[in-house]
Structure 1
Amino acid sequence: MVKLTDESRAFHYGVYTIVSQIPEGKVTTYGHIAYLLDKPANSRQVGTSLKHYHAIFRDLNQGYAPQDEEFLNVDTLPWWRVISSSGKISPREDSHGQYRQADFLRREGVDVSPAHLIDTGEFGWFPEEVDL
């Protein structure tokens, strides 16, 4: 079981709050999420937060029931809408993960090249601020 510090709980909760706001058919980058959290040097930590979200959700949901507003539903996090700053789907330990992410994005109308590149000019979501 993951046991998080209060600081890392706040960071992860912020990541998931932002990712949940990315509109269908749009993408943003790990770096932009870090920027929105006022932690511009922490884009890798955003990636780690998304990589381990199942375990982190278990920690964040301790003490909450599914009907509580604070409860995070692991099944509704659109993790596939986050890509690298180069506009590419990031490699995964499991190579199928990249293809799954590309499939999810294509189902939302995002053009994904065979090399897993996405035009962030057309499909990017880069607000200056979000509700946290």
Structure 2
Amino acid sequence: MVLPFTERVVQIIRDIPAGRVMTYGQVAGAAGNPRGARQVVRVLHSMSAKYDLPWHRIINAQGGISTPSDREEKGGFQRELLEAEGVEFMQNGKLDLKVYRWFPEEEFMW
């Protein structure tokens, strides 16, 4: 049985270990829709609380935190959560994707 995209996204995000991150596009691709980064944003926005998702482990493709300019405090909170898990940010405010990016196991059978 093939899971719907939203369910795959939720499972992938749940499986990201502490101290590791994935990008929006990377989650979308792993869930079967490489062009679905915006859908991942919607899933995070609407389902993070309901499913207790580690939303803070999802970052942009440049290794930065994506926060609307009117919600800077949320970006600071996301950074705090990541740092509490051992993630270190560079001086430019980004993290090194070569160090912290997580790749899900290929065992997912969607």
Determine if the TM-score, normalized by the shorter chain, exceeds 0.5.
yes
Whether the 8 Å contact between 2:90 and 2:96 is mirrored in structure 1 is: no
Q: CA deviation at 1:120?
A: 0.5
Question: 1:96 maps to what in 2?
Answer: 73
Q: Of 35, 39, 49, which aligns to 2:33?
A: 39
Alignment of 1:64-83 (within 5 A): 73-74=51-52, 77-83=53-59
Distance across 2 between alignment mates of 1:104 and 1:113? 16
Query: Which residue of structure 1 aligns with residue 93 of structure 2?
Result: 116
CA distance in 2: counterparts of 1:36 and 1:54, whole angstroms:
18
Match of residue 84 from structure 1: 60
Amino acid at match of 1:40: P
Distance in 1 of aligned mates of 2:46 and 2:96: 27
- Alignment RMSD: 2.2
Output the amino acid matched with 2:37. Answer: S
Structure 2: any 5+ residue segments left out of the alignment?
none
| Aligned residue type for 2:87 | V
Q: Choose which of 106, 118, 123 in structure 1 pairs with 2:83.
A: 106
Query: Which 5+ residue runs of structure 1 have no aligned equivalent?
Result: 1-8, 58-72
Q: Provide closer, same or farther for how the CA distance between residues 107 and 84 of structure 1 changes in structure 2, counting only shifts above 3 A.
A: same
Structure 1 contact 91–98 (Cα < 8 Å) conserved: yes
Larger helix percent: 2
Normalised by the size of structure 2, how large is the TM-score?
0.83
In the alignment, the residues of structure 1 paired with residue 13 and residue 6 of structure 2 have an alpha-carbon distance, to the nearest angstrom, of 11
Identity, in percent, stands at 34
Aligned to 2:10: 16
Larger Rg: 1
